[in-house]
Amino acid sequence: MASKRAQLAAWSTLVADTGELAAIRALTPVDATTNPSLLLSVAKQDTQSALLADARHLARQIGPTEDLALRCDAFATLTGQTILELIPGLVSTEVDARLSFDTRATVERARGLMALYRELGVDTDRVLIKIAATWEGIRAAEILEQEGIRCNLTLVFSLEQALAAAQRCATLISPFVGRIYDWYVKRGMQVDTAEQDPGVISVRTIFHTLKGLGLDTIVMGASFRNQGQIEALAGCDRLTISPALLEGLEQDTGPLTRHLDPADITLLPEQIPMDEATFRWALNDNPMACELLADGIRRFARDQEALEALLQASD
């Protein structure tokens, strides 16, 4: 029998959740996603000294030599360029998480990332700009999508975030599984099967709702803790998976069942648009989503700062 990875790939586009070039080269995924944490891990490797030097050089060509934000974006786009040489599909590059509550600044930073990609000669149709799914981030994505810049709304922990992004024509959303699972387990929930997993249930609900409403936004399950969570979402549009779990799927030749299929979904009645007040109240009224969104932004912001420090020290 074919590996579970091969079976899964028949229903879902597989995306490597890593910036590790060796892993991407070995695993040959369709797409790849990056974030400040993954980029920091790449930058710390001794083998990436040339990439760090190239980032400094590219940043100096564009703007002030002391602009660490620009240098970080140069490193991100150079990494993205290298990844795109190894895969046939898309790469996601994230906007600085410290801008998550500033629509205008997020839009400007996203435009800057795309300008850097164009400077490198990269086909920008193969790039998704990754933005935290705050209200301000979703509004920024709406503006960018209207300009032809496709977006990936990340740190999605609730149906309301997914709906708000999809109603504003975001190309893709990344609802998280593992962090939701962690949150509930930490508070005493017993999760014995994937069917009981609150992270799996969340992504399934988002998938069924968006497809039932006829919304075109791609649903990409993310943040997996174990292979069972991935298998329980077989059929989701895309799944972004760590190298270790992709390897596990490759080695497993057991049978796999499809759990998500748009063809099986009944159309839903039109829902009330997710406006700002509705969105903010729903997020405030969901302790899990509210806490995890804030925590995710803080984590990415700290890693962005660490990346800036590393790039500054490399002078």
For residue 31, list its beta bridge partners: 15
DSSP string of 256-271?
------GGGPPPPPPP
Active site residue 211: no
Contact 248, 229 (CB under 8 A): no
Q: Answer yes or no: are the C-beta atoms of 83 and 122 closer than 8 Å.
A: no
Which one from 4, 44, 130, 211 is the annotated catalytic residue? Answer: 130
Helices (H), 120-268: 135-146, 159-167, 178-186, 198-212, 227-231, 243-251
Q: Which of 68, 36, 116 is nearest to 314 (CA)?
A: 68
CA 312/CA 12 separation, integer angstroms: 40
Spatial separation of the C-alpha atoms in residues 236 and 119, rounded to whole Å: 34
User: Residue 259 half-sphere exposure, CB side, CA atoms within 13 Å?
Assistant: 18
Residue written as token pair 């700062």: 305
Show which residues are catalytic: 130
